[in-house]
Amino acid sequence: MRLRLANAALLTAVAAMVAACQTPAPATGPNRAALPTMERVALGANACWLKSGDPAFAAYKLAPELNSFSGRPRILLVHKGSPESRPLLVVQAEGSPSRLQAFGPMMQEPVAGRITADVNRWSTGNKACS
């Protein structure tokens, strides 16, 4: 009987030690760093704004600048006919977890609320279009 109790106590102690050494499971969800966040936003903008034929974005072209040495990957919306012109929308992220910014002339137009909602949704990994 004593041997059985000693074995049970030893087994409990070993189980507690093993449990204490295990690392917790990583948090689920998308990578929140700037680059992966902007990759998700770029894919969403391309699919939902441009490839879908959405009339609010029909006159624009996406110019991704994701490989940024400044640590601020971004996407630009420019006029289709003059891609070298000043961007009408800039969406960029910085840091980890990323802080998003959207600015430019389009953010003063009625479509600004939709842009903000879409960018925030895509940044979290939700691929839905509005």
25 pLDDT more than 70: no
Share of the chain above pLDDT 90, in %: 70
pLDDT band for position 129 (50/70/90)?
A: very high
What pLDDT does 5 receive?
45
What is the reported pTM?
A: 0.77
Nearest to 64 by CA among 49, 53, 56: 49
Task: Note the pLDDT of residue 57.
Answer: 97
User: Per-residue pLDDT averaged across 41-64, rounded?
Assistant: 96
pLDDT at 6: 45
Answer for the pair 83, 75: CB distance below 8 angstroms, yes or no. Answer: no
Q: How far apart are CA 100 and CA 115, in angstroms?
A: 12
